[in-house]
């Protein structure tokens, strides 16, 4: 079991390096095609921002500024992806070949449409941490992957993911989203040197417990250890991330909880706190 096609979403931002190198590290481990994608809005859409009474010259100036920003972001993203490929020892091509390879795409148009188009036929989608990026596009990217594709989402950490001696922490509550995240993460869990299935205070336990999850993982060749943390005085996200830090976890696996779009989903609860506070890579499924 593994992944054959990995999509990395770049934005022309400093976080692009971690996103690209994370995708390339996974791609090399699974002999997968790693696709880099940047999506910029059509500069002509900037006309919608025009204020009544603006002259044609002023409107044209708005369009030119939007075009310049799109061009700058595209160049920066392309350069970041190529530099990451050079660092990983892969060359960028325009077609998928056998074994690990890197492919570059540039799209102009609605970001959600492009991500859905590419993401639905990818095995894993990697994006920058939306809080670190701090842009509407980053929020839209996370939202689209979680709600518009059937694929797992990997939020890149501040540093690229390393598969060497990878330690994984699974935040488990027995629910549907937890189970989906664990199933989606199996290729990485099978590569990991240490896996812990963590329950906190029996919080929201909706089904099988951590021991049952470990038994399931054992059938997939993953040696995982259950762990229960009890501390009713502290928030669940704080306890999970503290445990991750204390045990040098390089990846957190968890379900993405919510029944609405991301802008509502991240306003509260465990998912929001993880999105805000986690510095390590987080693999989510919804």
- Residue 212 buriedness (CB in 10 A; 0-12 / 13-18 / 19+): middle
- 232 and 128 assigned to the same domain: no
Number of domains in the chain: 2
- 9 and 151 assigned to the same domain: yes
Please check whether residue 162 lies inside any domain of the structure. Answer: no
Of the residues 99, 120, 155, which one is the last residue of a structural domain?
A: 155
How confident is the prediction along the chain (286 residues), in pLDDT tens digits per residue?
A: 689 999 999 999 999 999 999 999 999 999 999 999 999 887 676 666 555 667 777 777 777 777 888 889 999 999 999 999 999 999 898 776 678 999 999 998 888 899 999 999 999 999 998 765 555 666 788 888 888 888 999 999 989 999 999 999 999 989 888 999 999 999 999 999 999 999 987 655 678 999 999 999 999 999 999 999 988 788 888 889 999 999 999 999 998 866 554 444 443 466 666 777 788 999 999 8
Phi (first) and psi of residue 283, to 5 degrees = -100, 125
Looking up residue 206, the CATH number of its domain turns out to be 3.40.50.620
Looking at residue 233, its pLDDT comes to 83
DSSP letter string, 11-59: -SSTTHHHHHHHHHHHHHHHT-EEEEEEEE--GGGGGGGPPTT--HHHH
- 77 and 211 assigned to the same domain: no
Nearest to 26 by CA among 217, 190, 215: 190
Of the residues 131, 155, 179, which one is the last residue of a structural domain?
A: 155
| CB count in 10 Å sphere of residue 121 | 11
For residues 283 and 188, give the distance between their C-alpha atoms in angstroms, rounded to a whole number.
10
Alpha-carbon 207 to chain mean position = 26
- 47 and 175 assigned to the same domain: no
Looking at residue 117, its pLDDT comes to 92
Which H/E stretch holds residue 180? helix 176-189
Strand 224-229 and strand 153-155: the pairing is unpaired
Please check whether residue 72 lies inside any domain of the structure. Answer: yes
**What global pTM score does this model have?**
0.89
- 124 and 35 assigned to the same domain: yes
Residues 190 and 1 sit within 8 Å (Cβ to Cβ): yes
Looking at residue 10, its pLDDT comes to 95
Please check whether residue 160 lies inside any domain of the structure. Answer: no
- 23 and 143 assigned to the same domain: yes
Of the residues 123, 155, 187, which one is the last residue of a structural domain?
A: 155
Strand 282-285 and strand 153-155: the pairing is antiparallel
- 225 and 151 assigned to the same domain: no
Domain coverage including residue 60: 5-155
Looking at residue 48, its pLDDT comes to 64
Looking at residue 270, its pLDDT comes to 66
Please check whether residue 52 lies inside any domain of the structure. Answer: yes
- 149 and 185 assigned to the same domain: no
Please check whether residue 265 lies inside any domain of the structure. Answer: yes
Q: Which residues, 6 or more positions from 257, have their beta carbon under 8 angstroms from its beta carbon?
A: 175, 177, 265, 269, 270, 271, 286
- What tokens does 101 get? 């390879």
Largest Cα span, the chain: 68
- 61 and 181 assigned to the same domain: no
Please check whether residue 161 lies inside any domain of the structure. Answer: no
Q: Could you say which DSSP state residue 170 is in?
A: E
- 69 and 205 assigned to the same domain: no
Q: Which residues, 6 or more positions from 161, have their beta carbon under 8 angstroms from its beta carbon?
A: 21, 22, 25, 26, 154, 250, 251, 281
Looking at residue 266, its pLDDT comes to 43
- 225 and 110 assigned to the same domain: no
- 77 and 185 assigned to the same domain: no
């Amino acid at each position: 079991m593994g992944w054959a096609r990995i999509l990395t979403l770049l934005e022309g931002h400093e976080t692009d390096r971690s996103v690209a190198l994370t995708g390339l590290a996974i791609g090399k481990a699974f002999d997968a095609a790693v696709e880099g994608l940047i999506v910029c809005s059509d500069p002509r859409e900037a006309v919608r921002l025009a204020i009544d009474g603006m002259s044609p010259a002023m409107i044209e100036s708005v369009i030119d500024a939007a075009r310049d920003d799109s061009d700058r972001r595209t160049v920066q993203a392309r350069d970041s992806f190529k530099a990451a490929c050079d660092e990983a020892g892969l060359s960028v091509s325009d077609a998928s070949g056998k074994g690990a390879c890197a492919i570059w795409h540039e799209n102009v148009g609605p970001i959600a449409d492009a991500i859905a188009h590419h993401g639905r036929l990818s095995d894993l989608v990697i994006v920058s941490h939306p809080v670190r990026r701090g842009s509407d596009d980053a929020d839209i990217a996370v939202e689209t992957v979680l709600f518009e594709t059937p694929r797992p989402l990997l939020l890149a950490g501040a540093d690229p993911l390393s598969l060497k001696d990878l330690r994984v922490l699974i935040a488990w509550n027995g629910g549907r989203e937890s189970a989906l995240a664990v199933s989606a993460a199996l290729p990485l869990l099978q590569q990991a040197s240490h896996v812990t299935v963590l329950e906190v205070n029996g919080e929201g336990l909706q089904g099988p417990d951590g021991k049952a999850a470990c038994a399931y993982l054992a059938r997939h060749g993953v040696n995982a250890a259950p762990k229960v943390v009890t501390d009713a005085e502290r928030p669940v996200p704080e306890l999970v991330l503290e445990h991750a830090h204390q045990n040098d976890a390089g990846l957190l696996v968890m379900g993405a909880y919510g029944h609405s779009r991301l802008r509502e989903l991240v306003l509260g609860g465990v998912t929001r706190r993880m999105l805000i506070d986690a510095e390590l890579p987080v693999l989510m499924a919804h």
